[in-house]
Amino acid sequence: MSKLYRKANARAKIDENLVFLPIISSLFTLSLVILLVGVAWADEKITKSHGFNFFGELSYQEDFTHLNYVNKNAPKGGDISIWSMGTFDSMNPYTRKGRSGALASAPFESLLDGTADEVGSLYGLLAKSIEYPEDQSWVIFNIREEAQFSDGTPVTANDVKYTFQLFLEQGLASYKAILEQIVKDTQVLGPKKIKYFFNPDASKRDAIPIVGGLPVMSKAWFEVTGARLDESRMEVAIGSGPYVMEEFEVNKRITYKRNENYWGLDLPLMKGRSNFDTITVEYFADSSAALEGFKSGEYTMRIENVSKNWATAYDFPALDEGKVIKKTLPDGGIATGQAFVMNLRKSKFSDPKVREAIGLLYNFEWSNESLFFGQYARVNSFWENSELAAEGKPSEGELALLKPLAADLPAGILDDEVVTASVSGLRALDRKNLRAASKLLDDSGWLVGDDGLRRNSNGELFSLEIIERSPAFDRVILPYIDNLRAAGIDAKYERIDSAQFTDRKRNYNFDMLTTQHPMSLEPSSSLKQYFGSESSDVSVFNSAGVSNPAIDALIEYVINAENKAELKTSVKALDRALRSLRFWVPQWYNNTYRVAYWDMYEHPDEIPPFDLGYLDFWWFNSDKADVLKSSGALR
């Protein structure tokens, strides 16, 4: 209105005899604009829902009473304790600085939350409902009236906006970049109502889930304390979650207690969940000490990740007497993509032949037979154990995506079978693979000298160091080092403490290390943090330093997929391309959870496919706990 008024007033100063007509004209124009805008809003299809799923229908309808996989009547109470390795010097999980304590994000909730039995669906947690137009150019979150922080203050739209700004200004660089690309602006529409406007080229599939999934923290706490999101600190920001931090002893333990006044206790999404009164994390120097601690009852729940332990170390009296339960439970999720990765930022790894040679020299088959008691399968794909893993030769759909990008990918990407991990014999050193690796190294200009070690034309020694923090990996890596040395590589293994490992990984100060690539069944913008060029030198997730224009283009295809068929094709093409770069040496996975716990916990008969949920929807049996304590098995 002000623009229209100024225009009319300016005309009046030129010719006072025409004042009346321009004002009438302007008012008519304004009325017409308002009318047309009203018609446009009326015609625009606005969806209002209790949740969001880009590709399809939500499994749970608006009137659902509880999640299908929980015991809605699970009792509240009791304690559960788990273990973590190494040290911590921060309780802020959202910064690169310091090493945060285990479960440090537990006190925080988001506007939307997912479930453990479906893919791609998000339901209102702090938000009662969401509203968005057909083009998803914006979204409105209607925050629940009853939502409050652990200090009793209400969760407001101002808190949501403030937290968003924190992540935008002080969050991890790779994450900030994604937020900037997606969100154009935010607007507080009321105490419990916030609107996000999205950039025109933002991924429709990402936009709502990313802003809906941001942790929400108390604006007042940050303003009073002067804390920053990008700093290492021991003070825990105030959140709205069912647990708050009770106490900690640095490098020894952290205890979280259930908030007795948790606002969301009776929400359908939360019924039967967050059942333990306390969750304690006990810290140990290494996995061997941790196992002994479990046997003696220092902590009560253990997920076993060492095959040798599972096969040979569970022989203590409490297990024999039935006081400890040992069993496997199904895991329907994608493998974690665990692998040795090479740091592509270092020139020694620039030749793909070198990378292929290094991959040939790891012997999984011997490791699985001799070290792992046959408990594992080999990882081949970044989407292993899912229908998204690339197979065989590229399909027509994959070829359509790959052909324009072939110049930036290794030869054969259009015609060859997908790259799979090398297969070795049951001797630690596979002679056939050693010969193949040696030839590849020769061809790449790394030749063996009189001392049996390889150098390039500049006389530089091919040295390679693998770093690790867990003693459990010694028996895996040392034979690999022997194989690398047999090929003329000056290979070394350096086991360091957890703090050093974290620092060197974050600062890319390594040749090779073990890391994971946890992918999603509906991957999207997070791929940029793992494999994107833009954040390759700042992302804490892109350990390998992948930076390739073809990979960037394929990531965009994945992000912009508009249906499940397009998504599947584009992910397969991306998987194929990533594997062709050979920057990783895939390790192993198991499609079961190996669980051991003192017999005072219970769980639903059917575990959902995507989460074991032992800290989420398991519960405490006080009668069983009393039996253990009266027998002297537990304090």
Which pair of tokens denotes residue 574? 């991306």
Distance CA 531, CA 520 (A): 14
Query: Which residue intervals of 471-563 are DSSP H helices?
Result: 474-486, 498-506, 527-531, 549-559
pLDDT of residue 458: 96
| CB-count exposure of residue 512 (10 Å: 0-12, 13-18, 19+) | buried
Distance CA 83, CA 298 (A): 9
CB atoms within 10 A of CB 193: 17
Bridge partners, residue 196, by sequence:
139, 186
Distance CA 80, CA 262 (A): 19
Shared fold status for 49-71+108-225 and 246-257+276-330+591-630: yes
CB atoms within 10 A of CB 350: 11
8 Å CB contact between 329 and 594: no
Residue indicated by tokens 């629940």: 144
Which pair of tokens denotes residue 18? 């025409």
Q: Determine the residue type at 492.
A: K
DSSP string of 57-75, one letter each residue: --SS-TT--S-TTS-TTPP
β-strand pairing of 463-468 with 454-455: unpaired
Which pair of tokens denotes residue 428? 């630690």
Q: Which fold has domain 246-257+276-330+591-630?
A: D-Maltodextrin-Binding Protein; domain 2 (3.40.190)
| CB-count exposure of residue 273 (10 Å: 0-12, 13-18, 19+) | buried
DSSP state of 313: I
pLDDT of residue 23: 29
pLDDT of residue 19: 31
| CB-count exposure of residue 449 (10 Å: 0-12, 13-18, 19+) | exposed
**What is the greatest pairwise CA distance in the chain?**
105
Domain boundaries, the chain: 2-43, 49-71+108-225, 246-257+276-330+591-630, 339-589
pLDDT of residue 96: 86
Give average pLDDT by consecutive 10-residue segment, the chain, 635 residues: 31 31 33 40 80 94 97 97 95 93 97 96 98 96 98 98 96 89 97 97 93 98 97 97 97 97 97 98 94 97 95 96 97 94 98 98 97 96 96 98 98 97 95 98 98 97 97 96 98 95 95 96 94 92 97 97 96 98 97 97 96 97 96 89
SS3 239: coil
CATH number of 339-589: 3.10.105.10
**Which residue in 306, 275, 271, 270 sits closest to 288, CA to CA?**
306
Q: Could you give the count of Cα atoms lying within 13 Å of 164 in the half-sphere of its Cβ?
A: 26
pLDDT of residue 43: 56
Which pair of tokens denotes residue 74? 């699970």
pLDDT of residue 2: 34
Q: Determine the residue type at 29.
A: T
Residue indicated by tokens 């008012």: 27
pLDDT of residue 535: 87
Bridge partners, residue 595, by sequence:
303, 327
Distance CA 478, CA 512 (A): 14
**Which residue in 298, 297, 305 sits closest to 323, CA to CA?**
297
Which CATH number is correct for 49-71+108-225, 3.40.50.12160, 2.10.10.100, 3.10.28.10, 3.40.190.10? 3.40.190.10
Which pair of tokens denotes residue 167? 């992540």
- Tell me how far CA of residue 35 lies from CA of 28, 29, 30, 32, 40, in angstroms: 10, 10, 9, 5, 9
What totals of helices (H) and strands (E) does the chain contain, helices first?
19, 28
